[in-house]
Amino acid sequence: AYGIPGSLGGAIYMNAGAYGGEMGEVVKEVLVFDGKESRWISRDELSFGYRESLLKKEKLIALKAVLRLKRDDPQNVQSRMIDFLRRRIEKQPLDLPSAGSVFKRPREGFYVGKAIESLGLKGYRIGGAEISRKHAGFIVNIGGAKFEDILKLIDLVRREVKRNYDVVLETEVEIWRSSKR
């Protein structure tokens, strides 16, 4: 889908997707690096799933990719791109820094943003981090947010969703902690 921020390697790594499409549908093969050597991996070996791939499971780095794209009329492509961008502008907090959608959808039909909103957490702040007022599935930096502020909001949301819906949320974003603590 047009308008997803990030790199090609990152999109393959997490099988990024939106509006009914995912990267795994168009990847033919990927040249990966495992820290020692590089090798080509075919689509069948990449084990794509919802926001998952072999790259993520084995911490591989994508160096190159061969994609199999469908031919289409340029006007149709442009029309879809404009529609995707319009939907993003309408629904997502693109005016503030964020890491994108924070949580994976735990199951079909369960919308994390709507659940967070129903709990009254939309707009809730800790330090400089806020659960977006535009889309509660995003945590935005309203100024001076610290790593700890964001983690506290993530923990709060997970706890409240578990308590109220009996649903365990996984993060879509990866959280990396420094070993120098």
Q: Select which of 22, 51, 53, 117 is catalytic.
A: 51
Q: Are residues 72 and 108 in the same domain?
A: no
Q: Are residues 97 and 162 in the same domain?
A: yes
HSE-up of 68 (CA within 13 Å, CB side)?
8
Q: Are residues 29 and 105 in the same domain?
A: no
Q: Which domain holds residue 140?
A: 93-181
Q: Are residues 121 and 177 in the same domain?
A: yes
Q: Are residues 160 and 86 in the same domain?
A: no
**CATH of residue 112:** 3.90.78.10
- Is 47 tagged catalytic? no
d(C-alpha 48, C-alpha 30), whole Å: 12
Q: How many of the other CB atoms lie within 10 Å of CB of 93?
A: 18
d(C-alpha 113, C-alpha 136), whole Å: 5
Q: Are residues 7 and 85 in the same domain?
A: yes
**CATH of residue 68:** 3.30.465.10
Q: Are residues 58 and 122 in the same domain?
A: no
- Helix spans in the chain (H): 8-13, 54-58, 74-91, 112-118, 147-165
Q: Quote the percentage of the chain above a pLDDT of 70.
A: 96
β-strand 138-141 against 27-33: which pairing, if any? unpaired
Q: Is the pLDDT of residue 2 over 70?
A: no
- In this prediction, residues 30-40 reach a mean pLDDT of 96
- In this prediction, residues 105-111 reach a mean pLDDT of 92
pLDDT the model gives residue 55: 95
pLDDT band at 3 (very low <50, low <70, confident <90, very high): low
Residues 6+ apart with CB under 8 A from 170: 103, 104, 106
Q: Are residues 84 and 122 in the same domain?
A: no
pLDDT the model gives residue 99: 86
Mean of the per-residue pLDDT values for the chain?
Answer: 92
Which of the residue ranges 85-99, 106-120, 166-180 would you say has the lowest mean pLDDT? 166-180
Question: At 59, which helix (H) or strand (E)?
Answer: none
Q: What is the pLDDT of residues 46-75, one digit of tens each?
A: 999 999 999 999 999 999 999 999 999 999
What is the rounded (10 degree) CA torsion for 70, 75, 76, 80? 110
Question: At 22, which helix (H) or strand (E)?
Answer: strand 21-22
Q: Are residues 83 and 24 in the same domain?
A: yes
Q: Are residues 41 and 73 in the same domain?
A: yes
pLDDT the model gives residue 104: 93
The total domain count for the chain is: 2
Q: Select which of 53, 98, 101, 132 is catalytic.
A: 101
142 strand-pairing partners: none
Q: Select which of 22, 117, 130, 172 is catalytic.
A: 172
- In this prediction, residues 8-16 reach a mean pLDDT of 91
- Is 172 tagged catalytic? yes
* Token pair 């997502």: residue: 92
Q: Is the pLDDT of residue 1 over 80?
A: no
- Is 101 tagged catalytic? yes
Q: Is the pLDDT of residue 149 over 70?
A: yes
Q: Is the pLDDT of residue 5 over 70?
A: no
Residues 6+ apart with CB under 8 A from 168: 106, 158, 162
pLDDT band at 105 (very low <50, low <70, confident <90, very high): very high
